[in-house]
Amino acid sequence: MSDFWSNYWKQGHLNSFGDSANDNYRGVIETSWTQFFADYSNEKDTIVDIGTGNGALIDIAVNGATGSSCQFIGVDYAALNIRPELHKNNVQFLEKTNAESLPLEDSSIAAVISQFGIEYTNFNKSIPEIARVLKPKGRVNFVIHYSNSSIVKPNRDIFLALQLVKGDKGLLGLLKDLVEAINTQGKQSALAERVRATLNERLSNISNKNGLVGTNFPAFLRAILNPSLTHDKKLMMFGMYESEMNNQFERLDDLLQASKTDEEVSSLCDLLEASGIPAKSSFVTENGEILGVNIEGTKGG
Ligand SMILES: C[S@@+](CC[C@H](N)C(=O)[O-])C[C@H]1O[C@@H](n2cnc3c(N)ncnc32)[C@H](O)[C@@H]1O
């Protein structure tokens, strides 16, 4: 299994698709989780967060407005990098652990939650597993990626643009050829001029400009053509950009496969019901934009 999520969490991010300027989810996502956690003040209750990442939801619960004192278990198959403020007696993380096989007792859990996590799992295994560990009247509360959301749509554009950047025959390959031509034959050489012209033409033909900006290629191109950089420094920068780009490509590929259409949301609700957890879905919206789909249910109805 690829390690792109582990690489992402290793960098210290607290969440995956939130407001990066504010570090964690804000707005309607933070408010609705804060309301949900307000129902759980009993220290004997345990809440499990599936696909927890670096614990964004648990952070809202224990360090946010409610300061919930129930027990939290964050589950994720990636290796994590949990911040000190989440090292608490009532918080535990099970990293490298699959949602499809939870190391938890039957009927032991008060609620299973997930923010942009459960949709990455194999529902045919993870949903029965969740039904097994939930207590009678235990609740599920998921926010999942929706294929037409304001989060997924721009990331789809970035994913498509990355396909134009990647590989020897992509924009990055051309930029490497240009840097090589400048190094060996000089900035104004015929070879450098030819490669530069091809690169500029390819760039001007790209209609998906927002997606391209999201790949960071335009900013990288400006940085790498700075004449004061040594050739070795440029090679190092290519390595760093390529590695980040490959990770981004895999994360977005995973996101696009995980995000659900209306039909898939409805099948998920059917599967929950068949597993003894009748559930309903609704859109999570903010400023008229769909951020995702909320699915709420209770074991035994
Ligand atoms: C988009 S991230 C969400 C992380 C976090 N909930 C957040 O909102 O920031 C999805 C996470 O699900 C995890 N994941 C994917 N499939 C999984 C599985 N089968 N079992 C457990 N975790 C899984 C990934 O490792 C990743 O950390």
Q: How confident is the model at residue 228 (pLDDT cuts 50, 70, 90)?
A: very high
Cα–Cα distance between 51 and 200 in angstroms, integer?
A: 41
* 94 Cα to the center of ligand 1, angstroms: 12
pLDDT in tens, 37-88: 999 999 999 999 999 999 999 999 999 988 888 999 999 999 999 999 999 9
Closest protein CA for atom 27 of ligand 1: 53
Q: Which residues share a beta bridge with 260? A: 146
pLDDT digits (tens, 9 = 90+) for 186-220: 999 999 999 999 999 999 999 999 999 999 999 99
Of residues 87 and 22, more confidence is placed in 87
Helix (H) or strand (E) holding 230, with range, is: none
User: Band of the pLDDT at 20, cuts 50, 70, 90?
Assistant: low
Strand order in the sheet with 46-50: 91-94, 71-75, 46-50, 109-115, 134-144, 289-298, 279-286
Residue 2 pLDDT: 58
For the chain, which domains are there?
A: 4-148+260-298 (3.40.50.150), 152-255 (no CATH)
pLDDT score of 33: 97
Rounded to whole angstroms, the Cα distance separating 12 from 83 reads: 8
Distances (CA, A) of 72 to 37, 43, 48, 111, 201: 11, 10, 6, 10, 54
| CB of 280 closer than 8 Å to CB of 269 | yes
What predicted TM-score, i.e. pTM, was given to this entire model? 0.92
How big is the CA angle at 50 (ends 145 and 87), to the nearest 5 degrees?
120
Q: Which residue has the higher pLDDT, 69 or 237?
A: 237
Angstrom distance (rounded) from CA 215 to CA 212: 5
Percent of the chain at pLDDT > 70 equals 98
What does the pLDDT read at residue 168? 81
Residue 134 corresponds to which tokens in the numbers above? 């939930």
The CB density around residue 282, as the number of other CB atoms within 10 Å, is 10
Residue having the nearest C-alpha atom to atom 11 of ligand 1: 51
Q: Are 259 and 145 in contact (CB under 8 A)?
A: yes
58 to each of 53, 69, 269, how far by Cα in Å? 10, 11, 25
pLDDT at 106 exceeding the cut of 60: yes
In sequence order, what DSSP letters do the residues of 134-173 get, joined into one string?
Answer: EEEEEEEEEEE-BTTSTTHHHHHHHHHHHHHHSSTTSHHH
pLDDT tens digits along 252-263: 999 999 999 999
Q: Return the closest-CA partner of residue 154 out of 216, 219, 214.
A: 214
pLDDT of 84 reads 96
Confidence band (pLDDT; 50, 70, 90) for 19?
low
| Token pair listed for 215 | 């790949």
Question: Which residue, judged by its Cα, is nearest atom 15 of ligand 1?
Answer: 120
Average pLDDT across the chain, whole number: 95
Nearest Cα residue to atom 6 of ligand 1:
52
Q: What is the pLDDT, as a whole number, of residue 18?
A: 61
Ligand 1, from 1, 2, 4, 5: best to mutate by most atoms within 8 Å of Cβ? 5
Locate the ligand 1 atom nearest the alpha carbon of residue 251 and give its number.
Answer: 1
Residue scoring higher pLDDT (2 or 296):
296
Percent of the chain scored above 90 by pLDDT?
Answer: 91
Distant-in-sequence, close-in-space partners of 278: CB < 8 Å, separation ≥ 6: 272, 297, 298, 301
Residue 65: what pLDDT?
85
Q: What is the mean pLDDT of residues 143-168?
A: 96
Give the pairing type, strands 134-144 and 289-298.
Answer: antiparallel
Residue-level pLDDT at 281: 98
Instruction: Tell me the Cα Rg of the chain.
Output: 23
